């Protein structure tokens, strides 16, 4: 999962992009990058690390220009080497920088076609670079001279025709403007907003509405599935919807875990969805365990807090904060590598013994993916003196890989894959384990006024919204993107970092900030 942002402004955009990336930091902590364009040409700064560590004052001063894009990353595909930090760049046609959130399910076929037929060079194993080169190739076929909005949109339609998977993209066509588009199934989120300044109207696109809200942008709307927008450097705004087949199926795991609670995605409040998850989960507990002996409900901070409050309220038991979180430790789910996740759990959380001692405790989490965090937190609760430790998940069992941009590619690494609830309960060490059912989760996220009929629930249901996810594909994915495979890949892609990432058909003239 990644975060993207693009700004077309009337004043320097380095600070708004930096601020937006900081707000979106929860979406990725592996790498960050900003590219800007102005009278001084193309400027770039990108590297591994958090936003605050990648961009120092000297870097910000060099990121001049009124147009720019930014990206924060954690590695689902490719590797965690700094050479794969985004945005990526190709210099033909025009020079294009691109940042991408999601995953292409036909990456291998596209990569082969690009190198063999389109005669384009790929520097990395990232599907974002593949997507960039597909777009660049299709635009080069259609545009000569100044590219028109129609030519750009035709190229994006061709991208949709060739690419499969979940993707939200922001790209800068050097000297002309910013393009943003969303996959035809609307799996990955992207939103656009505007604000008025004394010099004129400014536009921003971002992964979540909270980035726009915090920087004073308004009239935000989500891009429709397959829709593209082109914002020229002077602020002229164009949009067009994809003429091919679309199906609005946003990723439901955004609402479970990834998105910030103060975000609105596809007109659905993440906070309200999580409140309803707590209501539905409480109902599930009452149905399965009407004579429960729960003394207190304790959330596993932070994502599950909203649901846990509702669980306690509807069960009529006390709600307490039993764990204190170290704010300087990242989200363990999106840390690359199982060893790093395991080490981080105890560094991140500390139990308040008084809230556990001699009590029957219900711990509530948003989901259970690998089971690493759940197992260690239950052990911590027992060490703090809990008499019995129950565990509830606001999401159903994660039994299947997610192939659209969330780091669940390997079925063997999912604790619920091939196991019953009783077996999972034993593995994590809980006295009782209760999962939200899928229908309850869908009811929680879908609001009465929403026009969304389907969600991508593939990690729970095993039903994929693109028709190219076969058993053979999933086996190949397991072999290439497990934690072990990523470790091998990190050693493979060891070429020196490029300033913006050299592309096809020319030399790189960007200036590294």
Q: Give the CA-trace dihedral at 163, 164, 169, 173, to 10 degrees.
A: 0
Q: From residue 347, how far is each of 117, 131, 332, 351 by CA, in Å?
A: 50, 38, 10, 11
In DSSP notation, 365-421 reads ES--SSSHHHHHHHHHHHHTT-SEEEEEESS----S-B-SSSSB--GGG-TTTT--H
Q: From residue 18, how far is each of 45, 50, 58, 375 by CA, in Å?
A: 11, 11, 14, 36
Residue 65 DSSP symbol: S
User: What number of other Cβ atoms are within 10 A of residue 301's Cβ?
Assistant: 17
- Token pair 């082969």 is found at 112
Residue 97 falls in the annotated catalytic set: no
**Whether the Cβ atoms of residue 299 and residue 364 lie closer than 8 Å to each other:** yes
* 366: its two tokens: 């948003």
How many residues are present in the chain?
513
Instruction: Give the Cα-Cα-Cα angle 261, 267, 271 (nearest 5 degrees).
Output: 20
User: What number of other Cβ atoms are within 10 A of residue 375's Cβ?
Assistant: 19
Q: Give the active site residue among 2, 97, 163, 251.
A: 2
**Whether the Cβ atoms of residue 50 and residue 32 lie closer than 8 Å to each other:** yes
Residue 197 to residue 212: CA distance in whole angstroms: 15
- Token pair 């080069």 is found at 140
Residue positions annotated with a catalytic role: 2
């Amino acid at each position: 999962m990644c975060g993207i942002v693009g700004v077309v402004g009337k004043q320097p955009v380095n600070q708004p992009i930096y601020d937006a990336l900081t707000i979106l930091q929860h979406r990725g902590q592996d790498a960050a990058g900003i590219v800007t364009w102005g009278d001084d040409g193309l400027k770039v700064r990108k590297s591994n690390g958090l936003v605050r560590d990648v961009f120092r004052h000297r870097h910000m001063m060099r990121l001049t220009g009124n147009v720019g894009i930014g990206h924060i990353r954690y590695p689902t595909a490719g590797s965690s080497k700094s050479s794969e930090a985004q945005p990526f760049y190709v210099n033909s046609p025009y020079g294009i920088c691109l940042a991408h959130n999601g995953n292409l399910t036909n990456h291998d076929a596209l990569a082969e076609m690009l190198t063999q037929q389109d005669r384009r060079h790929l520097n990395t194993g990232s599907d974002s670079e593949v997507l960039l080169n597909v777009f660049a190739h299709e635009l080069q076929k259609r545009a000569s001279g100044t590219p028109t909005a129609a030519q750009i949109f035709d190229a994006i339609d061709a991208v949709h025709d060739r690419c499969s998977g979940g993707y939200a993209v922001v790209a800068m066509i050097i000297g002309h403007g910013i393009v943003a588009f969303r996959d035809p199934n609307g799996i990955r989120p992207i939103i656009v907003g505007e604000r008025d300044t004394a010099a004129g109207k400014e536009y921003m696109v971002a992964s979540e509405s909270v980035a726009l809200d915090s920087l004073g942008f308004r009239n935000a709307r989500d891009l429709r599935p397959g829709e593209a927008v082109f914002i020229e450097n002077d602020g002229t705004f164009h949009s067009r919807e994809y003429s091919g087949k679309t199906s609005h199926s946003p990723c439901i795991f955004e609402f479970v875990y990834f998105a910030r609670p103060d975000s609105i995605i596809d007109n659905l409040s993440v906070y309200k969805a999580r409140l309803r998850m707590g209501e539905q989960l409480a109902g599930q507990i009452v149905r399965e365990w009407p004579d429960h002996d729960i003394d207190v409900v304790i959330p596993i901070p932070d994502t599950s807090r909203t649901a846990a409050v509702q669980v306690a309220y509807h069960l009529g038991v006390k709600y307490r904060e039993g764990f204190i979180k170290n704010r300087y430790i990242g989200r363990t789910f999106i840390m690359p590598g199982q060893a790093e996740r395991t080490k981080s759990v105890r560094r991140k959380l500390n139990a308040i013994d008084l809230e556990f001692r001699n009590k029957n405790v219900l711990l509530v989490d948003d989901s259970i993916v690998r089971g690493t965090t759940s197992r260690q937190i239950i052990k911590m609760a027992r060490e703090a003196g809990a008499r019995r430790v129950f565990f509830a998940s606001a999401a159903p069992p994660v039994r299947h890989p997610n192939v659209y941009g969330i780091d669940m590619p390997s079925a063997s690494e999912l604790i619920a894959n091939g196991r019953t609830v009783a077996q999972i309960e034993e593995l994590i060490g809980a006295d009782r384990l209760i999962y939200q059912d899928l229908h309850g989760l869908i009811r929680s996220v879908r609001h009465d006024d929403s026009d969304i009929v389907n969600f991508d629930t593939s990690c729970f249901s095993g039903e994929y919204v693109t028709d190219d996810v076969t058993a053979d594909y999933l086996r190949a994915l397991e072999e290439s993107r497990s934690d072990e495979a990523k470790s091998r890949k990190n050693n493979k892609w060891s070429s020196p970092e490029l300033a913006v990432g050299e592309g096809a058909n020319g030399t790189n003239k960007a200036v590294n900030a």
